[in-house]
Structures are given as structure tokens and as C-alpha cells.
A and B are shown apart, each in its own frame.
Chain A
Amino acid sequence: MKPPRWASTLLDWWGDPNTVEEVQGDLLELYAYWVKTGGERKARWRYGLSVVKLLRPFAKRKEAYSNPFFLHPAMVRNYLKIAFRNLVKHKGYSGINMGGLAVGMAVAMLNGLWIYDELSFNTYHQNYDSIAQVTERGIRKEGTRYSGTSLPYPLATELKANYQSYFKHILISQQPDDYILAAGDTKLTKKGQFIEAGAPEMLSLKMLRGTWAGLNDPHSILLSASAAEALFGKADPLDKLVRINTKMDAKVTGVYEDLPHNTGFHDIKFLAPFDLWTSVNPWVKEQQWDNWFLFIYAQIQPNTDFDRVSALIKDIELNKLKGLEGQQEQIARQPQIHLLPMRDWHLHGHYNMDDTGPVQFVWLIGLIGVFVLLLACINFMNLSTARSEKRAKEVGIRKAVGSLRGQLIGQFFSESFLVVLLAFVWALVLVTLSLSWFNDVAAKQLSVPWTNLYFWLASVGFTLLTGFVAGSYPALYLSSFQPVKVLKGVIRVGRFATIPRQVLVVLQFTVSVTLIIGTSMVYRQIQYAKNRPVGYSRDGLLMIQKKTAEFSGKYELFRTELKNTGVVSEVAESRSSVTNITMWNGGFSRKGNEIPCPNGCGTLSVTPEYGKTVGWEFRAGRDFERGRTTDSSGLVINESFAKMIGLKNPVGETLVWATNWRKAETYTVLGVVKDMVAMSPYEKTVPTVFLMENYHDWINIRIHPNVSTAVALPKIEAVFRKLVPNAPFDYKFADQEYALKFAAEERIGKLAGFFAGLAIFISCLGLFGLASFTAEQRTKEIGVRKVLGASVFNLWRLLSKDFVKLVVIAFGIATPIAWYSLATWLQNFQYRTEISWWIFAVSGAGALAITLLTVSFQSIKAALMNPVKSLRSE
């Protein structure tokens, strides 16, 4: 006669533990009573019912006092209110925190946009994943590898004939160049490319007029929207006639949307059929395997991949070369045909495969962005930990009046999230404001992707992360304090509590000092290269390219007409502009001994007045002389070339120049000129010979030194308008062209300077905050010291010492890092400055001075305080 087991078990498990004993007893007693009075069935029923009703969910007594859930809306509202009040109360700290963080975030965002732009290069094209450029890879004599894009004409026909099935498109193309486009009276110089008809489809051009089939007609041209507008204004360009370089007639068959700045083809403003170009250059199709001058683009079929196709085609060129005479040098380079996927064009497509190239710069920028942001986060953490000790009492009181730990955590986190969120908003404002300036410096066209989901996800994710990291110390550590101890003042923060903070400050200044040293060094290297003697005179040297056939045979006419204007002191023609070398050859020898040209020597044809025009400085011998017929077999060589001959005085020596494309001839060295910096100002001068032959692309004009450019230009232009009416008067100044050679490094310098400045600014902000905090914390101590007779200087030294120590340590760490990375960086330049110790000394002293300035403001303020006031406070 037992009560139902299930009910007893249920009561055992779920009954209220406080009363379960007597309830079990009472129910047993009652069960016996119920059985007696109403029978067993009824008793069981009543027993079960009573148990169920007594289970805790139904019979639980209410708690005396209930805590709201820590994420309850009312609590969150309270957190935010308290956080906001805290921010307003400590305006200085909040400003430093938020300002530093906003700047750091803005820098990180700019860098992120920059990197995104670099990595998304060319993704504008829909066939991004299947487009490749055919390249030739090989190994030079010295063992370095190269990857060239200039290819022989028959390679394209070979690919089309035997490998077409792997490709959707094989497009042969002339290298992009400047051409004169003429429509009616409008004449413009635009960069364009002659390429086969599949190009618009392969590049998925967005056609505004016409179709992708526009290049099928050999006398057609596709214009970019900007070129079309420049040529025809608002008028409909379709079916209009355009004359290219005064000899190729084409009909506009389409207009495409300009390619965005982050595509490899963005500077190409028109496309025209390859056959149009070969129609006026019939020699192209006669070229054999020994002339590398064309580009080949390809799109592979979807069912194959680049590696497989590359493996199939790699030996085409080598096999052909083996069948030819006189190609031993080329064969020795083991040329391999390779497909360079479009995704590698921008960052991995450079000529010297062994150099790290532009991708290194991308990572460098990323690293700097991360570091600047890290500096800002460190500020944030340092200031919140420093201040958190002050807030220990607050934690004690809050706990004493009933706050739970969860609520305190919520409160501290909401405070840091609020700061980070506000900083993020500020960062967005900063980025928007500085973007155009940044684009200028970085030569980019970035924009904030307001509508990009990933941008927001990354931003929000990052904001949350920063808020969490920065807020975790006070939230998790302070909230664990026991109120009794805190309020009694038992918790003393030991001297080791400040160590993490000091480590972070050292880290900050290590980064800042490294950046400062790096920037100074970059500037010094640029300055060093700028001060390099160029070997000619750049001022007032005007260069005009002979772009059309109209120019030919008019040299004497030009010279007399220009000199007649009275503003020109000399005129000469040359193969290359002074800032370039466009013809490279080897094959020189003296008395049977080869003169080795490592990458080829410059072989530049000039007219006799060239030396006078550009301002050659002779080391030995003499210049060409007009009218001396023997000078046509004379050479003027530069010092680098003279050095390779190895004679003390090479003037008058006889050299033989024999290459496989011209018959061997003997030349006499007439003079030696000082090295001219024609290529990179960071590299050794190219050994060059100048000779008087008749293939010239440039007219060089020396403006009379007493005449200003503004006066001279209209007069020179008038001569050109008269003699070559169909060519636009496009001129270049030698000094401007030369300055362009520094653009890349100057960009690095400017960016690095900008980041270094911000880094030191953010670090100093943090230091300023910390200094004011310690000064505040030590108010009493300072008061007592003053009363006991300490001077202001004593106190200043006392308060500044700690920080100076940290900066000195940071400098000690930064020096080897900077030295090592700069030494590596300088290896990129053959003409480079030394890493001098004084740069380090000056940077270190500068950092120290800035630190002292920052800290002194606070420490002197504290030291000047009236001890009566500071001791009375409490």
C-alpha cells in the first residue's frame, strides 16, 4: 500500500529543497489517511495531484529581491547614460582617447582602401580569371631571372595554328603608344593600342555606342568615352572619320566607358585593329623569331587552367631558336613561354622576377596601417587602465549597493564601445575629408565604398574588436574586486602593475622612432639621387617627339627657322630623349677584344649639334663637328663606356661594332663625355656611345638662357605650326621629365612622412594623457615634497624621468630594426647614400625632445601647484 513511485521520485527531484523533508513526511501520513477514508485509488490520485502542485515551478516562493538581467534595456540605457557622463566629466581623457583612436582608424581605413585597390586591380574585367598575357621567362648570364612581355611575331601565328583549341582568344597587339588622333580640325595626342578584334569582348568593355564587334573592320577605331568627347564634343561620334598619325584612316565603330583607374588598360584611350597598323607597317609581318616587339594577350578556355596551357607552350620559342643561326646568346637564356594570369599583372608582373617588386610596398603599407592603429589602441588601453585604478572605489560602492558583476562588466564595456563608436564616426569624417589629398599623394583614385557590405562588416567588426580589447581590462579585472577590500583601501596596486603599460609605451615609441628614422632616410636617399650630377644641363631644354612622317627631312629647315626666332640657342636631333635610352646593342670590340655590355650599351644616333644643345661636358677629346666628313665614322663615348675599354686615354682608338643586324664597321673615338643620367637616377650610368647616323625620333631645343620660357614657347610653336601643321605641338621639358624619375620614391617618402608624423602624434597624445594622469595621482606626494623643500626643477625631473627612460629604451630597440630594414631597402639602389649615424642621433634626439615637451607641460604644471591646495584636497 505505497503511494505511486513516479510521484515520490518527482518530488525527490523537483521539490523545493527547503521544505522537501516535511512535505514528503506529511504526504506519506496523508496518503495513509486518504486510503482509510476514500480508498486507495482516490488516495493515489490525491497524492499525485498534490505532488505535481508542489513541484517548484508551481510552488516556488518568490525571491526577496530580484536582479534585472544585465542586458535588460533599462540597464543598457543606464550604462550608456553613465558612460556618457563619464566621458563628459573627463573631457581631456575622452578627447585624447577618441582623437587618437579616430586618427588611427582613419589611417587604417585609408591604408585598407589603398590595399583593396591594389589587390582588386583589373577585376573590372569580367574575364579576370581566364585572361593572361603571354610572357617569355629566361635566365640572364649573371643568373638573375627576367619575365618579358615583348614577343616575336611568329609566336602568335604559331599559337593560333597549333594551340587554338586551348584558347578562347589569342590577341596580338602593338605595344601601347601615343598617337595623334585627328578628326576635322581637332588634333589630339592619345595613348592607344592596336590589337586584334577579340579585345573588346575579352576585356568585357562596357560599350556606350556600338558593339564588341567594332574592331572587325580593319579601318575602324573604338574610342573611350573621354577620347570621344575630346574629339567630337557632344556630337554623335559613330561613323565619324578619325585619322591616326596622319596616315591611318579609321571609322569610329564604338565608344566604350573609360576603364577605371585600377586597371592595367586605364590609360589606353582608344583601340584600333592590329591590321590597320600593319597596313602601314608591312615589315611587321615579315619579322622572324629574332625580333621581340609585340604583346600577346590570351584568354584560355574555361575547361583548362594556366599551368596546364603554360606547360604545353613553354618550349615553342626555344625549339624555333635552335633552328636558327646566331641565336646562341638567346638560347643560353633558356627562354620559356609562359602565361602570366591577369591577377598577377599588377603586383607580380615586373620584369626582374627576382625583385620583390610592388607587392612588397603593398604589405609595407598594410603593416604601417596596422601599426598606427595599434598605437592608437595602446593609448586607449593605457589610459583606461591608468584611470581604472581611480575607478576601483566606484566599483566598490556599486557592488555594495547591489550591482552584480555582470552589470559592472556591461557598464565598462558599454563605455569603451561608446568611445570606439564615436571614434569610428570621426574616422569616417576624417577619411572623407582627407581622401582627395591622399589620392593626390598616392596617385590613386580611391573612394569610400559606402554601399559595400563588406566594408561595413569589416568596419563594424573592427570597431567591436577594438572596443572589446580596450575595454576588457577594466571590465573583467576591476569588476572582480571585493567591495570590502576596495572601500577599506586594502587593494594597493603594486609597482609591477605599471609594467604592462610601460611595455606598451615602449612599443609605441619603437614604432614611431623606426618610422621617423625610415622617413629621414628615404628623404635623404631621394635628395642624394637628386643631387647626382646629371652630366648635361636640364634648364630650358625642350624636347619634341617626331611622331609623324611630316617631320622627316625637315631638320635643317627646323634648325634655321628656330634659330631665326632669336630665342633658341641650339637645335639638335637625337634617337632618344635625354631622359631615356631607346636603342640598346652589344657587339663592340677593340683589337679583337670584346667590350662587354652587361645589359647592352646605349647606341644613340645624334646630329652634330647635340652636344652643344644638351650641354655635354667633355672629359677628353672633342665633339662632333658639322661638315667634317670623317666624323660620320666617329664616336663620342661616355665615361662608363670608356672605363670598359680599360684605357687611360681612349681618344683616337679604333673600335669595331658588329651586330647581326648590320654590317661590321670601324669607328674612331673622338671624345669622352661625362656620364649622363639617362635611365634611373638610382642606377649606374649605362655605357653609351653616340654616333652620327640618321634615325632620329626627337628634336631637342635649347632655349637661350636669357629668354624666359613663356616668351620662347609661342615663337617655337609658331615654327612648328608652320612646318608640321598636322601634328599637335606636344613638348616636354627635360627637367620635368627628369623629375618624374623620382615620383615613385617621393611618393613613398611623402606617405612614410605622413604616417611617421601621425604615429608620433598619436604616441605623444597617449604620453600626454599618461603624464597628466601620473601628475594627478602624485598630487599629494608633490605637495609634501614641495613643503619639504623640493624645487620645481627637482619635481620636473622626477616626473619626466620615467617617460624619458621608456623613450630611450624604445630608441635602443628601434635602432637595429631601422638599420636593418633600411640597409635592405637601400640595396634596391645602386647609387645610394650611406646610412649615417647622425640620422639615428637626430631622430632619437628629436623623439626625446618631443617626449620632454609633451611630458613637461604636465609635470611643470604639477610642480608649480601650490602645496597648500594639493594637500588640502580630499
Chain B
Amino acid sequence: MKRAFLGEFEEVVLLTVAVLDESAYGVTVTQEIEQKTGRAVGFSTVHTTLQRLEEKGYLSSKMSGATAERGGRRKRFFSVTAAGRKALVDVKSIREQLWDALPPQTLQLMGG
């Protein structure tokens, strides 16, 4: 079966959701990416990516946890589906295969 394509930012978002486990929603995902990667991420970008990943079936979501801070509005919590996990594993194994295929001297030159 053809592997689904996972963009770089999609991979980052998907991984972040997996990292955050139970507490992954728009705000936490945005902040986590900012802190971990140090790059300024727009909320809208994160939001649309989450939507797209859900459309592709890698994420599932449910609404809950309204707080006063949010004006009484619920959060949409995301969790990684089986397909999502498989996609992450696939990406990781491709990376590893590629790293393993690197000749040792190139690896040394890169400072690894």
C-alpha cells in the first residue's frame, strides 16, 4: 500500500500531539512547538495542520474542558490514531534507514 505523504510541519505537529499525550489542543501544541523548536509558529498554521491531519485520519479529536480563561469555550483535544502512529513509525524508519546508509567518513565530517 502506498504510504501517505507526511509533510515536515505535519510531522512536527503530529509528533508534538503524541508527546503531549492527553493534553494536546491548539494552544498547547502551538506553545510546545515554539518552545521545543524555537521557531515562531502561527496559531493559524497549527490549527489548519491539525484539521488536515484529522482529515487524513492521523488524528482524532473530541471536545471538552471548558475554562473561564477561554470565555467558557471548550477545547478540542487531539489524540494520535493507529494510522497516525503507523505514519510516524514509517517516517522514523525511513530516516533511520537513510542515516544507516550514510558512509562513516561522511558521518564524521558532519560532526556525528
A interface residue numbers (CB < 8 A to B): 19, 21-30, 32-33, 46, 49-50, 53-54, 59, 61
Which among A21, A25, A53 is the interface contact of B42 at CB below 8 angstroms? A53
- A28 and B71 contact, CB distance less than 8 A: yes
Which residues from A are CB-within-8-Å of B27? 26, 29-30, 33
Residue from the list B25, B44, B55 in contact with A54, Cβ < 8 A: B44
24 A-B residue pairings within 8 Å (CB atoms):
A21-B63, A21-B74, A22-B63, A22-B73, A22-B74, A22-B75, A23-B26, A23-B47, A25-B66, A26-B75, A28-B69, A29-B27, A29-B69, A30-B30, A32-B69, A33-B27, A33-B31, A46-B43, A49-B42, A50-B44, A53-B42, A53-B44, A54-B44, A59-B48
Q: Which residues of the other chain, B, contact A21 by a CB distance below 8 angstroms?
A: 63, 73-74
Taking beta carbons and an 8 Å cutoff, which residues of B are in contact with A?
25-27, 30-31, 42-45, 47-48, 51-52, 55, 63, 66, 69-71, 73-76
A61 x B76 contact (CB < 8 A): no
Cα–Cα, bound, A21→B75 (Å): 8
16 new A-B pairs (CB below 8 Å) besides A25-B66, A61-B55? A22-B25, A22-B63, A22-B75, A22-B76, A23-B26, A25-B70, A25-B71, A25-B73, A26-B43, A27-B43, A28-B70, A29-B27, A29-B69, A50-B42, A59-B44, A59-B48
Interchain CB contact under 8 A, A24 and B73: yes
Query: In the docked arrangement, what's the CA distance between A23 and B74, Å?
Result: 9
* CB contact under 8 A between A22 and B42, given known A32-B69, A33-B31, A54-B47: no
Q: What is the CA–CA distance of A54 and B55 in the complex, to the nearest angstrom?
A: 17
Q: Which of B47, B74, B76 has the most CB of A within 10 A?
A: B47
Inter-chain contacts of B66 with A (CB < 8 A):
25
Q: How far is the CA of A22 from the CA of B30 in the complex (A)?
A: 14
**Cβ contact within 8 Å between B69 and A19:** no
Residues of A within 8 A of B73 (CB): 21-22, 24-25, 28
In Å, the complex CA distance between A53 and B48 comes to 10
Nearest Cβ in chain A — how far from B65, in angstroms?
9
Chain B's interface: helix, strand, loop or mixed, by majority? helix
Asked if A61 and B31 make an inter-chain contact with CB atoms under 8 angstroms apart, the answer reads no
Q: Tell me how far the C-beta of B41 lies from the nearest C-beta in chain A, rounded to whole angstroms.
A: 11
Contacts of B74 in A (CB 8 A): 21-22, 25
Residues of B within 8 A of A49 (CB): 42, 44
Q: Is B69 within 8 A of A50, CB to CB?
A: no
Whether A19 and B47, one on each chain, are in contact in the complex, defined by CB atoms closer than 8 angstroms, is yes
Check B71 against A61 for contact (C-beta < 8 Å). no
Query: What is the distance, in angstroms, from B100's C-beta to the closest C-beta of chain A?
Result: 38
Q: How many A-B residue pairs have CB under 8 A?
A: 66
Question: A26 and B42: CB pair below 8 A?
Answer: no
**Which residues on the A side are within 8 Å of B48 (C-beta)?**
54, 59
- Distance to closest chain A CB from B29 (angstroms): 9
Q: How far is the CA of A61 from the CA of B51 in the complex (A)?
A: 8
- Assembly CA distance A665 to B63 (angstroms): 127
Evaluate contact between B76 and A19: CB separation under 8 angstroms: yes
Min C-beta distance of B36 to chain A, whole Å = 16
Nearest CB of chain B from residue A65's CB, rounded to whole Å:
14
| A25 with B75, Cβ < 8 A, contacts A33-B27, A33-B31, A61-B55 known | yes
Q: In the complex, A22→B66 CA distance in Å?
A: 9
How many angstroms between the C-alpha atoms of A818 and B70 in the bound complex?
A: 86
Q: Which residues of the other chain, B, contact A24 by a CB distance below 8 angstroms?
A: 70-71, 73
A54 to B50, CA, bound (A): 13
Complex partner residue of A26 from B25, B45, B55, CB under 8 angstroms: B25
The residues of B that contact A29 with a CB separation of less than 8 Å are: 27, 69-70
* CB proximity of B68 to chain A, nearest CB, Å: 10
Bound CA span A30–B25, Å: 12
Q: How far is the CA of A358 from the CA of B75 in the complex (A)?
A: 87
CB-CB under 8 A from A61, the residues of chain B are 51-52, 55
- Note all chain B residues with C-beta closer than 8 A to A27: 43
Contacts of B42 in A (CB 8 A): 46, 49-50, 53
User: Is A59 touching B30 in the complex (CB atoms < 8 A)?
Assistant: no
Asked if residues A30 and B51 are in contact (CB atoms below 8 Å), the reply is: no
Contacts of B75 in A (CB 8 A): 22, 25-26
Closest residue of chain B to A58, judged by CB?
B44
B11 to chain A, nearest CB (A): 20
Inter-chain contacts of B44 with A (CB < 8 A): 49-50, 53-54, 59
Q: State the 8 A-B residue pairs at the shortest beta-carbon distance, nearest first.
A: A25-B73, A25-B70, A26-B26, A53-B44, A22-B76, A50-B43, A29-B27, A50-B44
How far, in whole Å, are A21 and B43 apart by their CA atoms in the complex? 15
The residues of B that contact A46 with a CB separation of less than 8 Å are 42-43
Q: Are A26 and B69 in contact (CB under 8 A)?
A: no
**Residue contact B51 to A19, C-beta cutoff 8 Å:** yes
Chain A CB within 10 Å — which of B51, B69, B70 has the most? B70
**What residue in chain B is nearest A34 (Cβ atoms)?**
B43
Task: Tell me the complex Cα distance, A59–B48, Å.
Answer: 7
State A24–B73 Cα separation when bound (angstroms). 8
Bound-state Cα–Cα, A27 to B73, Å: 11
Give bound CA distance, A19 to B55, whole Å.
Answer: 13
Contacts of B71 in A (CB 8 A): 24-25, 28
A44 to chain B, nearest CB (A): 14
Q: Inside 8 A of A28's CB, which chain B residues have their CB?
A: 69-71, 73
Q: How far is the CB of B95 from chain A (nearest CB, A)?
A: 29
Residue of B nearest to A27 (CB): B43
Contacts of A32 in B (CB 8 A): 69
Bound: A59/B45 CA distance, A: 9
The CA-CA distance from A50 to B43 in the complex, in Å, is 6
Alpha-carbon separation in the docked complex, A23 to B71 (Å)? 12
Cα A19 to Cα B31 with chains together (Å): 20
Question: A528 CA to B51 CA in the complex, in Å?
Answer: 93
How far does the alpha carbon of A22 sit from the alpha carbon of B63 in the complex, in Å? 8
Q: How far is the CB of B19 from chain A (nearest CB, A)?
A: 18
Task: Give the shortest distance, in Å, between B55 (CB) and chain A (any CB).
Answer: 7
What residues on A are CB-neighbors of B76 within 8 Å?
Answer: 19, 22
CA distance A53 to B47 in the complex (A): 10
The chain A residue sitting closest to B63, CB to CB, is A22
User: Cα distance A59–B55 when bound, in Å?
Assistant: 14
- Chain A residues with Cβ below 8 Å from B70 are 24-26, 28-29
Residue in A closest to B40 when the chains form the complex, CB atoms: A46
Q: Which of B27, B45, B63, B74 has the most CB of A within 10 A?
A: B27
User: B71's closest neighbor in chain A, by CB?
Assistant: A28
| B9 → A minimal CB distance (Å) | 15
Instruction: Name the distance in Å between A40's Cβ and chain B's nearest Cβ.
Output: 17
Chain B nearest CB, measured from A737 CB (Å): 95
> Which residues does chain A contribute within 8 Å of B26, judged by CB atoms?
22-23, 26, 30
- Kindly state the separation between the CA atoms of A23 and B45 in the bound complex, as whole angstroms: 12
Please give me the residue from chain B that is nearest to A22 by CB atom: B76
Distance in Å: Cβ of A782 to nearest Cβ of chain B:
58
Most A C-beta atoms less than 10 A away, residue of B71, B73, B76:
B73
Using A21-B74, A22-B74 as known contacts, say yes or no to A30 and B55 having CB atoms under 8 A apart. Answer: no
Residue of B30, B44, B45 contacting most chain A CB atoms (<10 Å): B44
Q: Which residue of B lies closest to A49 (CB)?
A: B42
B69: chain A residues within 8 A (beta carbon) = 28-29, 32
